[in-house]
């Protein structure tokens, strides 16, 4: 009864505010089995995201209980005379309001009890998961069968629908491609409210458009994700470089290896100031380690580069891991005294960032603004980027968070997907993962860090470094056209076909709603 009253209230408010011509009873008769909520805590959490940079209040939040609930809501939005916007929200880990929709309805895809549980098809080596499922829960479900997805993000408290709308990348992408390259099939509710199954073979236009499609063409309600036998343990190694060319040469060599004698994960990060050693993700550098990191970087303007690699294994093959790792490391040119090694269960490795999250939360440093900037940089320009950005713009200044840098092979990315990457066979992700502190030094403040981001983008522009933003953020359609380049026309066509009223994911600010 209380639910029904709340629902009626929500619908009446929707009607008053957006001038819908629908009768309340019509919406009530949508027959959603989930809950359409106006509760202040629901509305508040759907108004915010991890970035804490923008805020937009929806009118209501739908907690769907099935794909049919999502379809009913979108159909109502599409079919009504005045329309209203609908945005799927996974775990709200966007930076710039991408899952928000002012005065529309947010579909809260992630959360306790939302959607069906993962279903593992062990014989076929895939798992069917609800679009709002968090990757950590996908992992837990598949491990029960000794299986695991192949391609990951560094952090697992992100939703399947959220990362598949971008790409989903980590140190496995050089080998398996991004997460969007590891999907067999999707169920999608289009902007017309139609629930469609799509894959390479069936409704392939929709399938490719949705992968990396920034939520523009449909709401992913189910994804069928490819699995492999789960490793049991991980040998995790970090080595340091003071020479950038040696560092990138080694990274590029490692991602070029074929066959079984290669690392399973290749990442890296830049150490511009020693403060990073005490920052998140760096607990790995033991304070008892005899190597004095600052002395290593002293003849390189203080900048160091850390290569991070892993080798996965099963306990039954543990005996050979030392030799395999040794043989691979032998080919590299890092600083010989800088090898840091640890060994841990596979799950602990995959879930490593969550540990840092808990630490930061306990110090009140997690829920702070995050002016992140993620760039794909073509290999041919990575030296220029190092000179102008790491040593120039950032040189010796506090970076307020990790700077990741690792290369990927373009041939592991499906050109037919919506995501855009540089036009070279190898390109780097460079991720500035900053946290702003209002009461910190000038160089840790939000405005300072945001200006630094703008400076980096200006430098790339002026220097002719054709970067592409990952998790892109633009505010005008002209910038979006530029971002998509030759993919823009196709992207626009797909929007016309699958979301002609521009109802979905308006928080990306690519297309304005047409009502
Ligand atoms: P949300 O922020 O809720 O949504 C993102 C976008 O996707 C919105 O436009 C939304 O409308 C749309 N969307 C959400 N669900 C669906 C759905 N079911 N169907 C269609 N559209 C949908 N990314 C990486 O690739 N690799 C990393 O290692 C990585 N690490 C991260 C670590 C942290 C701490 C954080 C905060 C982010 C990280 N990210 C990483 C970025 C992350 O992948 C994206 O921000 C992703 O969108 C977050 O997923 P989410 O479920 O929170 O999405």
Domain boundaries, the chain: 2-112, 119-229, 233-469
Q: Tokens 């004698």 label which residue?
A: 261
Q: Copy the structure tokens of residue 498.
A: 């699958």
Contact 51, 68 (CB under 8 A): no
pLDDT in tens, 77-133: 999 888 899 999 999 999 999 999 999 999 999 998 888 999 999 999 999 999 999
Ligand 1 centroid distance, CA of 94 (Å): 6
> Residue 271 forms beta bridges with which residues?
304
Burial 175-203 (b: 16+ CB within 10 A, else e): bbbbbbbbbbbbbbbbbbbebbebeeeeb
| Pocket lining: 227 vs ligand 1, CB cutoff 6 Å | no
What number of other Cβ atoms are within 10 A of residue 25's Cβ?
A: 9
pLDDT value for 303: 87
3-state class of 320 per DSSP? helix
The distance in angstroms from the start CA to the end CA of the chain is 33
Residues 32, 48: Cα–Cα separation, whole Å: 25
Q: Does residue 180 contact residue 209 with C-beta atoms inside 8 Å?
A: no
Ligand 1 midpoint to CA 144 (Å): 25
Residues 150, 179: Cα–Cα separation, whole Å: 8
Fold designation for 233-469 = Vanillyl-alcohol Oxidase; Chain A, domain 3 (3.40.462)
Cα of 165 from ligand 1 centre, angstroms: 7
Which pLDDT does position 279 carry in this prediction?
Answer: 47
In which residue are the tokens 């398996």 written? 176
Kindly indicate whether the ipTM for this predicted assembly is greater than 0.95, answering yes or no.
yes
Among protein residues, the one with the nearest Cα to ligand 1's atom 25 is 168
Other CB atoms within 10 Å distance of the CB of residue 228: 15
- Ligand 1 pocket, residue 176 CB under 6 Å: no
Residue nearest to atom 17 of ligand 1 (CA): 161
Q: Are 198 and 206 in contact (CB under 8 A)?
A: yes
Distances (CA, A) of 11 to 36, 65, 129, 187, 365: 9, 18, 30, 27, 38
Q: How far is the CA of 149 from the centre of ligand 1 (A)?
A: 17
**Is ligand 1 within 6 A of the CB of residue 98?**
yes
Query: Which of 47, 89, 189 has the most ligand 1 atoms within 8 A of CB, as the residue to mutate?
Result: 89
CATH among 3.30.465.10, 1.10.1060.10, 3.90.105.10, 3.50.50.60 for 119-229? 3.30.465.10
Question: Quick check: 64 and 88 in contact, CB under 8 A?
Answer: no
Alpha carbons 435 and 305: distance in angstroms, whole number: 21
Which residues of the chain, if any, have pLDDT below 50? Answer: 1-3, 5, 15-16, 18-26, 276-283, 286-288, 290
Taking CA atoms, 515 is separated from 100, 176, 456, in Å, by 18, 42, 37
Please state, in angstroms and rounded to a whole number, the distance separating the CA atoms of residues 189 and 73.
10
State yes or no: is 29 an active-site residue. no
Farthest-apart Cα atoms in the chain, separation? 73
The reported pLDDT for the residue numbered 294 is 56
Q: How far apart are CA 27 and CA 93, in angstroms?
A: 30
Q: How far is the CA of 419 from the centre of ligand 1 (A)?
A: 14
Q: Is 108 in contact with 46 (CB distance < 8 Å)?
A: yes
Q: Whose CA is nearest to atom 8 of ligand 1?
A: 99
Distance, CA 363 to ligand 1 centroid (Å)? Answer: 24
- Catalytic pick from 42, 49, 69, 93? 93
Q: Mutate which of 73, 87, 90, 359 to test ligand 1's pocket (most atoms within 8 Å of Cβ)? A: 90
What pTM did the predictor assign?
0.94
Task: Determine the pLDDT at residue 174.
Answer: 98
The active-site residue out of 128, 185, 267, 273 is 267
Q: Report whether residue 91 contacts ligand 1, using a CB cutoff of 6 Å.
A: yes
- The helix/strand/coil state of 369 is coil
pLDDT (0 to 100) of residue 82:
80
Q: Give the chain's length.
A: 515
Cα(493)–Cα(418) distance, integer angstroms: 12
CB of 168 closer than 6 angstroms to any ligand 1 atom: yes
- The sheet with strand 60-63 has its strands ordered as 35-37, 60-63, 105-108, 86-89
Three-state SS string over 181-236 comes to HHEEEEEEEECCCCEEEEECCCCHHHHHHHCCCCCCCEEEEEEEEEEEECCCEEEE
- pLDDT of 439 reads 83
Give the closest residue to 277 by CA, choosing from 300, 259, 295: 295
Domain 2-112, CATH among 3.40.50.2020, 1.10.3720.10, 3.30.43.10, 1.10.760.10: 3.30.43.10
> Tokens 């990138």 belong to which residue?
248
Active site residue 267: yes
Tell me which residue has its CA closest to atom 43 in ligand 1.
163
DSSP state string for 233-249: EEEEEEEEES-HHHHHH
Q: What is the CA radius of gyration of the chain?
A: 23
Q: Which residue has the tokens 């236009």?
A: 205
Catalytic residue flag (residue 93): yes
Retrieve residue 349's tokens.
Answer: 């490795």
* CA dihedral sign, ordered 212, 213, 214, 218: negative
Say how far apart CA 194 and CA 74 lie, in whole Å: 8
């Amino acid at each position: 009864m209380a639910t029904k009253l709340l629902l009626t209230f929500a619908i009446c408010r929707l009607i008053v505010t957006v001038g819908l011509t629908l009768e309340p009873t019509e919406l009530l008769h949508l027959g959603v089995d989930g809950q359409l909520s106006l509760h202040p805590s629901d509305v508040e959490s759907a108004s915010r995201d991890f970035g804490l940079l923008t805020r937009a209040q929806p009118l209501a939040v739908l907690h769907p209980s099935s794909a049919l609930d999502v379809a009913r809501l979108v159909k109502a939005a599409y079919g009504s005379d005045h329309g209203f916007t609908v945005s799927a929200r996974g775990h709200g880990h966007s930076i710039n309001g991408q899952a928000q929709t002012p005065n529309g309805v947010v579909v809260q895809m992630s959360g306790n009890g939302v959607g069906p549980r993962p279903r593992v098809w062990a014989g076929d080596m895939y798992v069917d998961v609800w679009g709002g499922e968090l990757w950590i829960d996908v992992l837990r479900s598949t491990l029960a069968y000794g299986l695991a997805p192949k391609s990951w993000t560094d952090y697992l408290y992100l939703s399947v629908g959220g990362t598949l709308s971008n790409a989903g990348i980590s140190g496995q992408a050089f080998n398996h491609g991004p997460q969007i390259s590891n999907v067999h099939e999707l169920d999608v509710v289009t902007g017309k409210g139609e629930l469609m199954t799509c894959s390479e073979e069936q409704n392939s236009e929709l399938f490719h458009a949705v992968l990396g499609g920034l939520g523009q063409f449909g709401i992913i309600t189910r994804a069928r994700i490819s699995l492999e036998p789960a490793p049991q343990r991980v040998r995790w190694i970090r080595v340091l470089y003071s020479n950038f060319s040696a560092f990138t040469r080694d990274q590029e060599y490692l991602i070029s290896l074929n066959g079984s004698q290669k690392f399973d994960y290749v990442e890296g990060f830049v150490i511009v100031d020693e403060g990073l050693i005490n920052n998140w993700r760096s607990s790995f550098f033991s304070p008892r380690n005899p190597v004095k990191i600052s002395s290593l970087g002293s003849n390189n303007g203080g900048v160091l580069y850390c290569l991070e690699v892993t080798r996965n294994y099963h306990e039954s093959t543990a005996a050979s891991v030392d030799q395999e790792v040794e043989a691979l490391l032998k080919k590299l040119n890092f600083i010989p005294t800088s090898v840091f090694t640890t060994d841990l269960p596979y799950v602990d490795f995959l879930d490593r960032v969550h540990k840092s999250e808990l630490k930061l939360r306990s110090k009140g440093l997690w829920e702070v603004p995050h002016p992140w900037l993620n760039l794909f940089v073509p290999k041919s320009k990575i030296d220029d980027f190092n000179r102008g950005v790491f040593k120039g713009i950032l040189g010796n200044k506090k970076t307020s968070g990790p700077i990741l840098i690792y290369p990927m092979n373009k041939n592991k990315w499906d050109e037919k997907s919506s995501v855009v990457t540089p036009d070279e066979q190898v390109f780097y992700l460079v991720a500035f993962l900053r946290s702003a502190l209002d009461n910190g030094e000038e160089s840790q403040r939000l405005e300072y860090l945001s200006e630094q981001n703008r400076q980096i983008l200006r430098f790339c522009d002026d220097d002719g470094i054709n970067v592409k933003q990952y998790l892109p953020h633009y505010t005008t359609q002209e910038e979006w056209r530029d971002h998509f380049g030759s993919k823009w026309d196709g992207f626009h066509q797909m929007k016309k076909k699958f979301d002609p009223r521009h109802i979905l994911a308006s928080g990306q600010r690519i297309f304005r709603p047409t009502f």
